[in-house]
Structure formats: structure tokens, C-alpha cells
Amino acid sequence: MQTYRARRVLRADRGGSSWPVLVETDAGIFYTKLRGAGQAPASLVAEIIVGALADSLELSVPARVLIDLRSDVSVDDPDWELAQLLLRSTGLNLGFQLLPGVRNFRTSDTAEVDRELASRIVWLDGLVQNRDRTVKNPNLLWSQGQLWLIDHGASLGFHHDWTLLTEDSPRVPARGLKDHVLWSRVTQLGGVDEALAARLGRGTLEDALAAVPHDFLAEPASDRARRRRAAYVAFLWKRLKAPRPFVATDVTSAG
């Protein structure tokens, strides 16, 4: 990923608890998630990994960049809480491409989503254990007639407590898929399964982890960071082994 230095923080998005910010750089303005926010930097690791996997599966996700935030950056928003958050976020943060003409996904849009596309999205969410694409919180956007996947920080939840990870953890069946906002459109989960899994070879997984900065892994030393990356790859590789625990062979449409 490219790294750009933050020139100015324009404003915070106070719609959620993590307070992402709009950051101006020499390469343009990026929607930026901060390393000092709740659940970060682990949530940023998840964003990078899932974004890379989505790219490999030809699912649309905003392009990611690294944003270097210095303590002396200019800030247009004078809020004291934001100032403290920015101070905790000095260093590398994660920026996202701004999409043109964005519209939030509505429940009434569900019937417009192609069934094969819905199946591929649910397949990815099952792989990475993303339970945060529901009717209440779709985490989908429309931009110029195309459906985009956003907000994957809740994925790969095992990395919030590595002590609970066991050899059997990757084989745990998917939970909550029937709460997925696109579940009613899923008729081809088994049909897309082998083709999607074939795109995610071990080398692809390793490339996804290689994009994660050392300090996002909370393991600054290079040897420990290497082992941590290998642990993510091992988890996903075991989860991808057939029969995949997040694919039901008898999936039928609910609508």
C-alpha cells in the first residue's frame, strides 16, 4: 500500500464510536480510520486483510492507503476529544478511497442485488467471520450503480484474544449468516464455493498479510510480526480447507 503524509485533518465523522476523520494529503482526501480508536489497531488489521481478500475475489471495496499522521498536523476541528484521539493515533493509520455519488444501502435495495453477487459476498463474510453486515447495519454502499463493501473491522474477531485460539478454532461453523442483509438473495453459496476458494491460495493469503504494517500487529519486532502474520495465514488456510465450515450444502433462498 502507498503511504501518504497527512497535511490537514478536516473533520471527524461522529456517526460511529470510532470517529474516523477526513484527511487531506498530497494525493487527495481520504476517509481515515485511526489507530487510537476503540478496537484498533486490530480492527485496522482486519480491514486490510479482508479488503485484500475481497480484491482477489473481485468484490468492490474502497482502495486502502496508509496515512502518516504527525503530532503537529493541522486540524480544522477544534474538539478536545478529537485532539486526544489524534494524539493517540500518531504514526500510521488506514485511509480509504472516497467514492463518488455515494448512497447508503437500504433494505428495499435487497431485491436489486444479483443472486450470484450476494452469494459471493456472504461467502467472504463467512470466511472472515464478519457478523456486521445486517439489516440494521448493512455496511454496503452504492456508488455509480455498483455495490461496495465497507467496514470490516469486526471481522477476524479471534485476534482480540489470541489465548483463546485453538487448533479447532478455524473450523468453527459460521454463526449469524442467516442474519446477513443479503441472505434472502443467497441461492448459489455452494455453487460459488470452489471457484472462490481456488482464488485464495496460500500465496494470496500471505500477500494480504504482507500489507499489514508491523506496528498494527502490536508486535514491532520483525520476527514476532512474522510469526503473527503466519498465524493469520494458518487460521484462514485451515478455514479454507474443504468442506468449508461456513458453506451449507442445502442453502436455499428465503425470498
Residue 16 has a pLDDT of 67
Residue 251 has a pLDDT of 42
The pLDDT of residue 237 is above 90: yes
d(CA 240, CA 18): 31
Q: Supply the pTM of this predicted model.
A: 0.95
* Rounded alpha-carbon distances, angstroms, from residue 43 to 35, 79, 152, 160: 9, 24, 8, 9
Question: What would the pLDDT profile of 38-78 be if each residue is shown by its tens digit?
Answer: 899 999 999 999 999 999 999 999 999 999 999 999 999 99
* Rounded alpha-carbon distances, angstroms, from residue 98 to 14, 21, 72, 139: 17, 12, 24, 15
Residue 249 pLDDT level (bands cut at 50, 70, 90): very low
